[in-house]
Amino acid sequence: MDLADHPFSVENIARESGASNFSERRWLRWCRQAELLLGHDLDGNDVDEAGCGYSLDEASNAFDRGLSPNDYVLNVILRPRYRGEFSKS
């Protein structure tokens, strides 16, 4: 049977089969690029802008706003509180 003739939507088939959707794949690609640029994962702790200078929640918000991984990373590394593995401070 051709999927175009299937009674369920393509999105439903993808979700049920465990395949990620396009938006999720874009987010994961965005994360990988930002992590490569930072030299560590995005899962930091920056509660009330008083932590390590980055967080996964903030990265997600940047992605949703359309910020590129390069621009997000630039914002992070310019913060005095950033204490990344490769931080120059």
Single pTM value for the model: 0.65
The separation between the first and the last C-alpha atoms of the chain, rounded to the nearest angstrom, is 60
For residue 6, is it within any domain? Answer: no
- Determine the structural domain holding residue 78 and report its residue range: 22-89
Per-residue pLDDT tens for 21-34?
A: 668 889 999 999 99
For residue 50, is it within any domain? Answer: yes
Looking at beta carbons, which pairs linking 31-40 to residues 24 or more positions away fall under 8 Å? 31/59, 31/63, 31/69, 33/69, 33/70, 34/59, 34/69, 34/72, 34/73, 37/69, 37/70, 37/73, 38/73, 38/76, 38/77, 38/84, 38/86, 39/84, 39/85, 39/86, 40/84, 40/85, 40/86
Per-residue pLDDT tens for 47-87?
A: 556 556 678 888 999 999 999 999 999 998 888 878 654 44
Position 17 confidence tier, pLDDT thresholds 50, 70, 90: low
Count the domains in the chain: 1
For residue 8, is it within any domain? Answer: no
